[in-house]
Amino acid sequence: MKHSLGLALSGVILLSNADAMADEATNDLRCYVVSLQMLSTTNTTVQMAAMLAHGYWLGKVDGLIPQQELEDRVIAEFSNLSNPDLFKAEATRCGLEMMARGKAEADMGKDMTARGQKMMDQQNTR
């Protein structure tokens, strides 16, 4: 009985993780589609941001969505994001996520600089 309960709980955990992964994949795919749509603008500032976003989101979806599914899912999300309110909400969410990632990367750079300086200081005192 305990063994069956353990297996059942393991199954629930696996299904929950699969659902979370599916949500992450869909969210990242929507951001990828937003970036594709932003590439078509004539505003060069937006185009440059879209190029950076495109590479970031493509890297994420490439690791989450099997290649054979990607094209169909991109087409479906283009249709979903034709709703202007949904597009705006997703563009905002994606932008906030990229800003948070950029801040995390900048923080990491500061930490690495401080660690490097500390190592240099230690070497110079020997």
Would you list the domain boundaries of the chain? 34-106
- Whose CA is closest to 86, among 94, 98, 75? 94
Q: How far apart are CA 78 and CA 29, in angstroms?
A: 10
> pTM, whole model, 2 decimals?
0.73
Region 10-19: mean pLDDT is: 43
Using alpha carbons, list the distances in angstroms from residue 46 to 15, 27, 50, 53, 122.
Answer: 39, 21, 6, 10, 45
Taking only the tens place, the pLDDT of each residue in 18-61 is 444 448 999 999 999 999 999 999 999 999 999 999 999 999 99
What pLDDT, on a 0 to 100 scale, did the predictor assign at position 4?
54
Q: How far apart are CA 80 and CA 70, in angstroms?
A: 15
Checking if the pLDDT of 80 tops 50, the result is yes
